[in-house]
Amino acid sequence: MKAIWQGQVIAESDQTIVVEGNHYFPPSAVDRTLLVDSETTSVCPWKGTANYYTLHVGGEVNRDAAWYYPTPKKAAAEIEGYIAFWRGVEVVE
């Protein structure tokens, strides 16, 4: 799987974990140079608190376009630290 935005591959892995239709990429599969920490958080009743990243690609900014669970609840332990994308980021095979 690949996560692509503005023609740039942000993440690529054959080891994603699919949860609720979202592909979560292993941290090592993500180009961290394109991510900037965000102050945004959200809460899922069964996964826990998500933190976000803003993408910076070729001078373009996509605020809070990636999220991850640094300390998920037990039910979502398998995606701890894995990163998922939305807001126009294409996730394709």
Tens-place pLDDT, residues 34-63: 999 999 999 999 999 999 999 999 999 999
pLDDT score recorded for residue 11 = 98
pTM of the model as a whole: 0.96
Query: What contacts 24+ positions apart, CB below 8 Å, involve 38-42?
Result: 38/63, 38/64, 40/64, 42/67
Distance CA 49, CA 42 (A): 6
Q: Can you say whether residue 20 is alpha, beta or left, with left for phi > 0 and alpha for psi between -120 and 50 degrees? A: left
Say how far apart CA 18 and CA 64 lie, in whole Å: 20
Tell me, what's the pLDDT at 81?
98
Q: Which domains does the chain have, with CATH numbers?
A: 2-92 (2.170.150.40)
Question: What pLDDT does 73 receive?
Answer: 98
